[in-house]
Amino acid sequence: MTRRTEDGTDDPQGDEEDDSALFRRAVADVRPIQNDRADTRPPPPPPRPARREADAPEVADSLSEPPPTPAEAEIGERLLYSRPGVQRRVIRQLRRGHYPPAAHLDLHGYSRREAYRELAAFLAAAQERGCRCVRVVHGKGRGSGYRQPVLKVSVDHWLRRRGDVLAFASAPEHDGGTGAVYVLLRASDRDAPGRP
């Protein structure tokens, strides 16, 4: 609204006074912000699974040991293992191939040490990708030059010691038979219900 002077002309200064007074009234309750700086800290690193890190030194220590003898490993032709609490029905279905493997690893041609590294990296990557069942080909050991299948015995030993492995069983004949295992993996933390 424009103010008029006594002689009838417009008073531009009157507009400014009205606007200033109006603005002061509008911001009368406003208080200064105590901290106007943005949080520039880098985001925290992603969580790391403690069980996998705890398993790694144990399994790495087992590499320096000679392979277990067949009697120590209790290995027959077929491999079968499950953690307590895994339902029998799940084991039956795993043995029959009802869980299609989402990833495969072939250990033919690897030394025992190389095979361990490949297996550990493969299982970690598979779990990160959300794979629940994978197939590991260890061979039957006919070309190992020993009385026992070295990689088969070692894979059995390593898988039993990993916290992310719920169960494993020799694959059905059409998918490698006693020269391969189907491995059932625990769901990763990011796949757990309630997690983003």
pLDDT at 69: 46
Q: CA 135, CA 102: separation in Å to the nearest integer?
A: 8
pLDDT at 6: 59
Residue 130: other Cβ atoms inside 10 A = 12
* pLDDT tens-digit readout, 159-195: 999 889 999 999 988 888 888 999 999 887 655 444 4
Which tokens belong to 13? 């200064």
R_g (Cα) of the chain, nearest Å: 34
Handedness of CA 23, 28, 32, 38 (dihedral sign): negative
Q: CA 37, CA 77: separation in Å to the nearest integer?
A: 67
pLDDT at 15: 57
Lowest mean pLDDT among 85-94, 101-110, 115-124, 145-154: 145-154
pLDDT at 70: 45
Residue 125: other Cβ atoms inside 10 A = 13
Given a contact cutoff of 8 angstroms between Cβ atoms, the answer to whether 171 and 97 are in contact is yes
State yes or no: pLDDT of 11 exceeds 60: no
pLDDT at 194: 44
* Phi then psi dihedrals of residue 110, to 5 deg: -90, 145
State yes or no: pLDDT of 106 exceeds 80: yes
pLDDT at 104: 94
Share of the chain above pLDDT 90, in %: 28
Residues whose CB is less than 8 angstroms from the CB of residue 112 and which lie 6 or more positions away in sequence, other chains included: 63, 67, 150, 151, 154
Closest CA to 158 of 124, 195, 125, 108: 124
2: confidence class by pLDDT, cuts 50, 70, 90: low
Specify whether domain 51-191 bears CATH 2.40.128.20: no
State yes or no: pLDDT of 32 exceeds 70: yes
State yes or no: pLDDT of 108 exceeds 80: yes
What average pLDDT does this structure show over 59-77? 52
